[in-house]
């Protein structure tokens, strides 16, 4: 393992090492073994979806006994299959589809997965590999709804500022496979779900819209969310939601009896790994929460206020220290044409509020390696960020107004671009105060 960069000498390198430690903790090859059941009498079928789907399939394939039958299909995001597994595929087929807006490849994959879940016996075992992003990747519209209509609703939700649990409530009820429907179809086979959490609270019913767990939300909840955000509802979807025809399986449904759900990686575990690495470097670390939500730019301002208090008054934490947080913030898109995701918008709000505070360095990045739909995971803010930007004619507030954080941090060389990490435990934020 490479030495940890000294935070006082190399703040960027130190923050990047913390991010890498958080990602490493969530990699499926490191977390899956303890949760695998023994092979059954009958078949073992692996199905699943998510940004970590390719790496999860690779891990199960490597860890499952070589003399035990194993087959199945998992769908992941384009370019999210680990290179070694792509070059030499194993017993579990992995296909790629679009995220965050579903495409035809995702619809076809979901239809095939639905077929694999049917006709099973009580002697069979189904391993469901579920991670963040699975909601868009398992895109099989419910009866009476077209893929184009579902795409339109999904795009509108992404731009609305709706929270992840609200988006997933709607997605479940417009789907033929999510909201517990997938696991219900597997009966009477034994079902074991292995989950990597990318949601605040690690609620299985929210991760990837809960395809393998019963759904406590209702059609009425979904309609209320669509109304709240002023989203146009296609006629088929409206009819199904208002009549209850699109209702999902509920807690207590006997088809879920004996179903096991294991959380194999969580945001909190990754934050704790980063905190442990910071302490190895002699820097105290404080984890605010792994469940922080809200508008990215506003969350950035609040983090900046905390860092300023530490830098100026040594309270509530003594410096030097690093402040860590996770969760899933949202971006309400106010202007067309801007580029950037949650992490970079958080950082732009944070940089403006910090106003070049000496000794404060910030990294925010998505643990899947992709911030929104761009090629970066996030970016870094330093005490001279605003000055370097101004020297190139870049005014931070203008870029924030048009949701264009990517094009603010790009020209000044502050983007963090690790490429796909093959896991996903959501937002990672680290504020170093020295």
The per-residue b/e assignment along 300-310, b for 16 or more CB within 10 angstroms, e otherwise, is bbbbbebbbeb
Neighbouring C-beta atoms of residue 395, cutoff 10 Å = 12
Q: What confidence category does residue 3 fall into, taking pLDDT thresholds of 50, 70 and 90?
A: confident
Task: Name the token pair of 232.
Answer: 């146009």
- In this model, does residue 210 exceed pLDDT 60? yes
Average confidence score pLDDT of the chain: 95
Global model pTM greater than 0.85? yes
Q: Are 269 and 202 in contact (CB under 8 A)?
A: no
Q: How confident is the model at residue 204, as a pLDDT?
A: 95
Q: What is the pLDDT of residue 111?
A: 94
Q: How confident is the model at residue 100 (pLDDT cuts 50, 70, 90)?
A: confident
Residue 45: which H helix or E strand, with range?
Answer: strand 44-49
307: part of which helix (H) or strand (E)?
helix 296-313
pLDDT reported for residue 106: 93
**C-alpha to C-alpha distance for 356 and 358, rounded to whole angstroms:** 6
289 contacts: CB under 8 Å, gap ≥ 6: 325, 326, 327
What would the pLDDT profile of 242-283 be if each residue is shown by its tens digit?
A: 999 999 999 999 999 999 999 999 999 999 999 999 999 999
What pLDDT, in 10s, does the model give residues 121-162? Answer: 999 999 999 999 998 898 899 999 998 998 899 899 988 989
Model pLDDT, residue 158:
87
Query: pLDDT tens, 272-322?
Result: 999 999 999 999 999 999 999 999 999 999 999 999 999 999 999 999 999
Q: What is the pLDDT of residue 326?
A: 98
Judged against a pLDDT cut of 90, whether residue 337 lies above it is answered with no
**What domains can you pick out in the chain, each with its CATH number?**
11-24+267-433 (3.40.1480.10), 28-140+175-214+249-265 (3.40.50.10180)
Name the E strands within 69-151: 71-77, 92-97, 125-131
In the prediction, which pLDDT does 1 show?
Answer: 55
In the prediction, which pLDDT does 364 show?
98
Flag the least confident range among 29-33, 163-167, 348-352, 355-359.
Answer: 163-167
């Amino acid at each position: 393992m490479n030495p940890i960069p000294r935070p006082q000498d190399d703040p960027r390198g130190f923050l990047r090492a913390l991010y890498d430690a958080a990602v490493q903790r969530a990699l499926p090859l490191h977390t899956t073994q303890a949760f695998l059941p023994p092979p059954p009498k009958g078949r073992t079928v692996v199905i699943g979806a998510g940004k970590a789907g390719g790496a999860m399939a690779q891990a199960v394939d490597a860890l499952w006994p070589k003399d035990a039958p194993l087959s199945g299909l998992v769908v992941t995001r384009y370019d999210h299959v680990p290179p070694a597994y792509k070059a030499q595929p194993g017993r579990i087929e992995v296909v790629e589809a679009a995220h965050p807006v579903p495409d035809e490849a995702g619809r076809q994959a979901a239809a095939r997965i639905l077929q694999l879940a049917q006709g099973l016996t009580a002697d069979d075992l189904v391993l469901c590999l579920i991670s963040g992003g699975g909601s868009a990747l398992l895109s099989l519209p419910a009866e009476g709804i077209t893929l184009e209509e579902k795409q339109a609703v999904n795009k509108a939700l992404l731009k609305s500022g709706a929270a992840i649990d609200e988006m997933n409530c709607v997605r479940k009820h417009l789907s033929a496979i999510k909201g517990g429907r997938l696991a219900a179809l597997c009966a009477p086979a034994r079902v074991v779900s292995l989950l990597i959490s990318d949601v605040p609270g690690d609620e299985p019913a929210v991760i990837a819209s809960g395809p393998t767990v019963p759904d406590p939300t209702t059609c009425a909840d979904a309609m209320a969310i669509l109304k709240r955000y002023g989203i146009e509802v296609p006629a088929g979807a409206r009819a199904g939601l208002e009549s209850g025809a699109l209702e999902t399986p509920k807690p207590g449904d006997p088809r879920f009896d004996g179903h096991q759900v294991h959380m194999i990686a969580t945001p909190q575990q990754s934050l704790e790994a980063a905190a442990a690495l910071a302490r190895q470097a002699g820097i105290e670390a404080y984890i605010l929460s792994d469940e922080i939500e809200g508008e990215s730019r506003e969350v950035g301002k609040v983090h900046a206020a905390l860092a300023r208090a530490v830098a100026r008054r040594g309270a509530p934490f003594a410096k030097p220290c690093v402040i860590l947080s996770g969760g899933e913030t949202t971006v309400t898109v106010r202007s067309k044409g801007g580029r950037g995701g949650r992490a970079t918008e958080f950082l732009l709000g944070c940089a403006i509020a910090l106003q070049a505070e000496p000794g404060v360095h910030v990294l925010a990045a998505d643990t899947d390696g992709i911030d929104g739909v761009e090629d970066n995971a996030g970016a870094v803010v330093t005490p001279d960020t605003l000055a370097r930007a101004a020297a190139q004619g870049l005014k931070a507030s203008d870029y924030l107004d048009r949701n264009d954080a990517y094009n603010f941090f790009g020209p000044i060389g502050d983007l963090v671009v690790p490429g796909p990490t093959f896991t996903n435990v959501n937002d990672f934020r680290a504020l170093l105060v020295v």
